[in-house]
């Protein structure tokens, strides 16, 4: 909003205001036409060409002008009623404003109130929407306060049992590392032999009362393979050492 207008600027404003009857003459057909009135405000703003005064400031400037006129006019009327010296306004713009509003100042000032009333419906709608929004927010807050902790599922932080490695895990990793260092074909044969050994030992555990002979196949050492590199690794892996595992029968 721009600052207060000077005396010269007020004169320019009231002269421009006088040209647009749709802004002050109630009987004008365009008095309540919003588009025509807005156009008049724009043209007045262009004519004034006052720095920091835009179109939205013009209606308020006009309202201030009418209020100032009303104040001065009341002083004149009061001095007449008092029977003394008639008060004469010193403002240069007063005589021009009196040409517009002087014929029926009371009704014209009432029109100023009507101008304000025209804007009120839009303002009331905005206020109504704000009230409704505030009511909805208050309702949501009320619902939120009624929510008990039981209605919100809590995430259970159940402690997980920590697994500790034993010698079997370590040995299994050792076997895995050894298999990875072998050639593909050798690692396949080694796994087959390990599976045979495990199967034989499991069978022995299932027949503890009988004496059984379990052939165990041993994988030749890498040192022997290195001494005889021309031999086929597959042939060397076929060398079996038969071990006889004897289990005494349990006493009856």
Show me where the domains of the chain are located. 7-145, 168-237
**pLDDT one-digit tens code per residue, 92-114:** 999 899 988 876 544 455 445 54
**Tokens (6 digits) for 166:** 């034993």
pLDDT (tens digit, 9 = 90+) per residue, 29-85? 999 999 999 999 999 999 999 888 899 999 999 999 999 999 999 999 998 998 888
Q: Are 204 and 214 in contact (CB under 8 A)?
A: yes
pLDDT-above-70 percentage for the chain: 57
Question: Which one of 9-18, 155-164, 228-237 scores highest in mean pLDDT?
Answer: 9-18
CB atoms within 10 A of CB 235: 9
């Amino acid at each position: 909003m721009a600052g207060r207008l000077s005396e010269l600027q007020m004169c320019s404003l009231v002269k421009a205001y006088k040209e647009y009857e749709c802004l002050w003459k109630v009987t004008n057909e365009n008095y309540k036409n919003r588009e025509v009135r807005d156009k008049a405000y724009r043209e007045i703003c262009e004519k004034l060409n006052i720095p920091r005064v835009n179109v939205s400031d013009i209606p308020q400037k006009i309202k201030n002008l009418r209020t100032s006129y009303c104040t001065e006019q009341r002083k004149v009327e009061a001095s007449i009623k008092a029977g003394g010296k008639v008060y004469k306004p010193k403002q240069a713009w007063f005589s021009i404003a009196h040409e517009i509003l002087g014929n029926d100042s009371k009704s014209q000032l009432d029109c100023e109130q009507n101008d304000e009333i025209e804007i009120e419906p839009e303002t009331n709608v905005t206020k109504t929407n704000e009230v409704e929004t505030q009511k909805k927010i208050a309702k949501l807050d009320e619902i939120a306060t009624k929510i008990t902790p039981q209605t919100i599922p809590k995430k259970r932080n159940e402690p997980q049992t920590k697994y500790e490695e034993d010698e079997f895990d370590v040995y299994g990793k050792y076997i895995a590392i050894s298999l990875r260092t072998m050639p593909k074909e050798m690692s396949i044969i080694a796994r087959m032999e390990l599976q045979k050994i495990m199967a034989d030992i499991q069978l022995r555990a299932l027949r503890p009362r009988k004496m059984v002979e379990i052939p165990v196949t041993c994988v030749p050492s890498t040192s022997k393979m290195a001494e005889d590199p021309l031999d086929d690794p597959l042939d060397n892996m076929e060398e079996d050492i038969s071990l006889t595992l004897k289990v005494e029968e349990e006493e009856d």
